[in-house]
Amino acid sequence: MSLSILAIDDSRTMRNLLSAALGRAGYEVALAEDGAEGLERFAQTDPDVVITDINMPNLDGFGFIEGARALTRNRVVPILVLTTESAPELRARARAAGATGWIVKPFDDEKLVWAIERVAPTGQTA
């Protein structure tokens, strides 16, 4: 069974890059362009892992993380933050909201897959 990944980013280019990289790794990929759409897709697709940007219109990554955690009281879906930001206070805020990990853009395909495999639910791979 392959992992399903929800990737949320307001940049079409970044969504395309993520979709291509994750697809090559054998994952099922769902995409959203901001945190609000991300919450809708999160509920619809029930992903195994989420990758989200922080700076997005409508609902930012912090809002998405808080909303997703509120929806899944009985299940902790790993949420990886993928962003150009690297400030320690933003990392701390993301962790406090419920993020599992932090990856700085631009991402390397192999490191992204490694991070996903590291946080993925036991027994599930690409």
What's the pLDDT score for residue 71? 83
DSSP state letter for 90: H
Q: Fill in the amino acid letter for 112.
A: L
pTM, 2 dp: 0.93
pLDDT in tens, 16-72: 999 999 999 999 999 999 999 999 999 999 899 999 999 999 999 999 999 999 986
Q: Say whether pLDDT at 125 is over 60.
A: no
For 4-119, CATH gives 3.40.50.2300
**Per-residue pLDDT band at 76 (split at 50, 70, 90):** confident
What's the pLDDT score for residue 85? 87
Average pLDDT of the chain is 91
For β-strands 4-8 and 49-52, DSSP reports them as parallel
For residues 18 and 15, what is the distance between their CA atoms, to the nearest angstrom?
5
> What mean pLDDT is predicted for residues 93-116?
93
